[in-house]
Amino acid sequence: MFPADFAYVRPRTLDEALDLLDEAHAADQEAKLIAGGQSLLPMMKLRLAAPQVLIDIADLPELRGGGWMGWAAGGGFGGSLGALSTYRQLGRHALLTGGVIRGRTENVTPHHAEGIPAVTDVLTVLADPQVRARGTIGGAVAHGDPASDLPAVLLALDAELHIAFRKGRHPESHLGPYIPRRRSRAEKPSNIGRREITLDDFLQGVYTTDLAEDEIITRITIRHRGGAVSAYEKFPHPASHLPLAGVAVVLTYKAGRLTDSDGHVTDLADGSIAHAAIAVTGISPRPYRARAAEALLKDAFPTEETVAAAAAQVTTESPGSANRVSLLGDQHASAGYRAHLAEVLTRRALAKAIARGGRNS
Amino acid sequence: MPAARELPVRVTVNGVPRTATVAARTLLVHFLRDHLRLTGTHVGCDTTQCGACTVALDGVAVKSCTVLAAQADGHEVTTIEGLAPDQADGLHPIQRAFKEEHALQCGYCTPGMVMAVRQLIEDHPDPTREQVRHALAGNICRCTGYQNIVAAALRAARAAATDAAAEREG
């Protein structure tokens, strides 16, 4: 099977890539970015996609590597992942999946990183080793696939996307002049515009995201709270391995002491949950945060009853709402069955995360 | 550099630099099979599922039906033909283990299986049975039921460990 005919180009810099996008749109040509190509090429071979120009961004240095923003109090950290990071590279990053972290110089003492178990979980059940060697984190979010594993875990980790675009679009661009929709960074002496957006705002619907046709995702940042426990559980389609439903959870327990004005000391580390993040994929037009279920876990103790009560609300649209999220069904699994799977998987993921223990549990 | 429908690609295949001018839409597997006549790499499902087309790209196992030849430009590819250049019997220890464990029937999936096992042993020199099964998640065999393939992977890992130990002792 061949893709439909297209023209290919591999720019060496972000600047060049943005120019190519701009030129293609000015010429009214459909251009697509390709990185690992593990979603795009199969779609092109099936002629579900037939871009006229393919811009290979694999060589853009700005989209590579993991720059780490360092350590927050309590052992948490923030990480910035290049959009070109492959699943395989993420799976070998000690800060994400646990292991020994060594400094660039010998003055930095190597230390053991706990990793983020939900990341390890998702990277072992996602696609297969060969696909994980090529598929990228940027592609995973840009594709907007409703049945995609990684975005659920990234949503639960409060991921933000960094996006670059050409300031002062081509005069003939059908996209018109650029009007910032969200905050953009301080101006730098270049004509590359930058903006940041949460993954939650970025994902919109089936194969639909906030990414404009002339924009490139450069980096993805995640935040991990110290002492957090996490897990990802999925029910894979037996042939495609895609999730019929998948649930990521990240829990943080209360920690520390509170001293009031009378000098009374309250130990906050009573084993109750300070913060819960639950993200669901595979059952709705886009992966979503289950805010109603999260609200039931906040300040609660991680008992079997609490877990079951929260899981029962995992398809509720928002806290206190009587509406369900919009559900997808197809020939593989009905909407009702997918919703049922989401509830069961939420229970399993919460139980797994809780069993993994926390600093204060 | 403008976008082109036809372009020259230069790929180091099994240690030898090879060049060809190909259509941009040429897949790496067709570049290997049709342009270089390296037909050991098979096209199975052609939909990124069966793994018969597995090759090593810059040393990492990938599915060559889902990589463009243009994406491999400037990179290194190892195919099943390049696995055992120095072996007297022409077989890599993994291939020998497949033979000894009778890990194939029709043989169509075998080149991809061998290339996937090569990656497994590189990542996990002493793999568990479960790690072997996970490593073969992207390779489909319709004959064997996988039992003998798993046995061959474990045997190949043991052979590689023995070879490495012998090398250390000089």
Residue A304 sits in a domain whose CATH number is 3.30.390.50
Find chain B residues with C-beta within 8 A of A53's C-beta: 3
Same domain, A188 and A274: no
| Band (A260; pLDDT cuts 50, 70, 90) | confident
Give how far A77 is from chain B: nearest CA, Å: 27
pLDDT along chain B (170 residues), means of 10: 92 97 98 97 95 98 98 98 86 96 97 98 96 96 96 97 86
Same domain, A182 and A303: no
**Residue A43 within any structural domain of the chain:** no
| Last-in-domain residue among A205, A224, A243 | A224
> Given B23, B46, B119, which is nearest A129 (Cβ)?
B119
Same domain, A251 and A219: no
CA separation for the pair A14, B24 (Å, rounded): 22
Which residues span the domain enclosing A186? 60-224
Interface probe for A, chosen from B60, B66, B67, B130 (most Cβ of A below 10 Å), is: B66
| pTM across the whole model | 0.91
Task: Kindly identify which residue of chain B lies nearest to residue A9, measuring between CA atoms.
Answer: B3
Give how far B64 is from chain A: nearest CA, Å: 10
CATH number where A75 lies: 3.30.465.10
> Given A6, A41, A241, which is nearest B24 (Cβ)?
A6
**Residue A15 within any structural domain of the chain:** no
Mean pLDDT over all residues of chain A? 89
Interface probe for A, chosen from B55, B64, B71 (most Cβ of A below 10 Å), is: B71
Of residues B22, B77, B13, B170, the one with CA closest to residue A2: B22
Task: Write out the residues of chain A at the interface with chain B, using a CB-CB cutoff of 8 A.
Answer: 1-11, 20, 24, 34, 37-38, 41-42, 45-46, 53-56, 58, 88, 124, 127-131, 133-134, 239-241
Which segment of A44-53, A99-108, A164-173, A302-311 scores lowest on mean pLDDT?
Answer: A99-108
Q: Where are the extended beta strands (E) located within chain A?
A: 7-9, 31-34, 53-56, 66-71, 77-82, 99-101, 111-113, 160-166, 192-198, 203-205, 208-209, 216-224, 229-236, 243-253, 257-259, 265-267, 273-281, 288-289
pLDDT of residue B155: 98
In this prediction the ipTM stands at: 0.96
| Last-in-domain residue among A196, A224, A252 | A224
What percent of chain A is modeled with pLDDT above 70? Answer: 88
Same domain, A206 and A261: no
Size of interface A-B (CB pairs under 8 A): 100
Residue B87 has a CB neighbour count (10 Å cut-off) of: 12
**Residue A347 within any structural domain of the chain:** yes
Find chain A residues with C-beta within 8 A of B4's C-beta: 7-9
Total domains in the fold of chain A? 2
DSSP state for residue A267 in the 8-state scheme: E
Same domain, A268 and A173: no
> Given A34, A42, A54, which is nearest B47 (Cβ)?
A42
pLDDT of residue A232: 98
Q: Which residue has the higher pLDDT, A220 or A269?
A: A220
**Residue A274 within any structural domain of the chain:** yes
Same domain, A272 and A212: no
DSSP state for residue A62 in the 8-state scheme: G
**Residue A52 within any structural domain of the chain:** no
Same domain, A252 and A327: yes
**Residue A192 within any structural domain of the chain:** yes
pLDDT tens digits along A162-202: 999 998 765 445 555 554 444 444 444 478 999 999 999 99
Same domain, A320 and A356: yes
**Residue A294 within any structural domain of the chain:** yes
Same domain, A81 and A194: yes
What domains appear along chain B, each with residue ranges and CATH number? 6-81 (3.10.20.30), 93-165 (1.10.150.120)
| Band (A103; pLDDT cuts 50, 70, 90) | low
> Given A2, A34, A130, which is nearest B61 (Cβ)?
A130
CA separation for the pair B103, B82 (Å, rounded): 20
Give how far B54 is from chain A: nearest CA, Å: 8
Q: The tokens 């509170």 sit on which residue?
A: A258
| Last-in-domain residue among A202, A224, A246 | A224
Which segment of A89-103, A209-223, A283-297 scores lowest on mean pLDDT?
Answer: A89-103
Same domain, A259 and A145: no
Task: Kindly identify which residue of chain A lies nearest to residue B44, measuring between CA atoms.
Answer: A1
Same domain, A190 and A245: no
Task: Kindly identify which residue of chain A lies nearest to residue B63, measuring between CA atoms.
Answer: A130
**Residue A250 within any structural domain of the chain:** yes
> Given A10, A37, A54, which is nearest B66 (Cβ)?
A37
Same domain, A232 and A215: no
